[in-house]
Amino acid sequence: MATVRPLRKALKAKSPGLSLEREYWDQGHEVVVGIDEVGRGAWAGPLTIGAVVVPRDKRLYKVRDSKMLTETERESMFGRIVDWCEGWAIGHASERECDELGMSAAQKLATKRALADLPVPATAALVDGKWDFVETIPTTLIVKGDQKSLSIAAASILAKVTRDQMMREFATTYPGYDFERNKGYPCPRQRAALQAFGPTRLHRRSWAFVDDVPFNGVTRIPPANAQPTLFDT
């Protein structure tokens, strides 16, 4: 495994545990998967789901909610998590699917893809948040789950690092939008680029943020289930 710098003092007391996983293990569930999402609030790029099955008897220290870690810390943990866990997968819903299906359906689709790619079928899931977007297996919803469940925290890191790398690669194709820094999320630099150049094919073109920007070479996409408008070309 790759070496990781010592954990910052502020994070040492914020370690997620396995108590939520153990509740399912004690009920007889053999494969409990932690699931987390990244990219739902972005203006550009895919919605990404991370899914991780952690071992019962082998801990990995320094795993934290991805939002608590720096980019360098997350990237240094990626390989360690992959080597340690019993199974992992990433599922995406493209920006086009986010537009055409709506965000809720797109999130379910990305989750379905992630679960299908796990090396073993999951029998129960732990999900960060208040909404069950899994539906196909018993699921426990945990507010701030990425701070409480080790498997969710691990999933948050894998999802974040994977999507961030994709956005850095997209930045070479679409310079000027600062994707390498903002990863597609709203920021003044991206807003200015949208006003100057219009949206790219990576942008979610059914969202309200494109209502007042020029469309140069790409078409407006109506919100999912919306009635056609004069802008739908």
Residue 3 pLDDT exceeds 80: no
**Domains within the chain, CATH numbers bracketed:** 10-170 (3.30.420.10)
Separation of alpha carbons 135 and 108, rounded Å: 9
Residue 233 pLDDT exceeds 50: no
Residue 13 pLDDT exceeds 70: no
The residue assigned the tokens 């789950």 is: 145
Q: Which amino acid is at 40?
A: R
Residue 179 pLDDT exceeds 80: yes
DSSP designation for 142: E
Would you state the pLDDT for residue 232? 30
The pair of three-digit structure tokens given for residue 161, joined into one six-digit string: 């690092």
Dihedral (CA of 58, 61, 67, 72) sign:
negative
Would you state the pLDDT for residue 5? 65
Separation of alpha carbons 30 and 123, rounded Å: 7
Quick one: which H or E segment has residue 190? helix 188-197
Would you state the pLDDT for residue 224? 79
Q: Which whole number is the average pLDDT over 139-162?
A: 96
Q: What does pLDDT average to over the chain?
A: 91
Q: Tens of pLDDT along 102-114?
A: 999 999 999 999 9
Query: Of the given ranges (20-24, 32-36, 68-72, 221-225), which has the lowest mean pLDDT?
Result: 221-225
Residue 153 pLDDT exceeds 60: yes
Residue 230 pLDDT exceeds 50: no
Would you state the pLDDT for residue 223? 83
Confidence of residue 11 (pLDDT cuts 50, 70, 90): low
- Count CB atoms within 10 A of the CB of residue 213: 18
Would you state the pLDDT for residue 10? 54
Would you state the pLDDT for residue 182? 97
Query: Of the given ranges (40-54, 170-184, 217-231), which has the lowest mean pLDDT?
Result: 217-231
Would you state the pLDDT for residue 194? 96
User: Per the confidence metrics, is the pTM higher than 0.85?
Assistant: yes
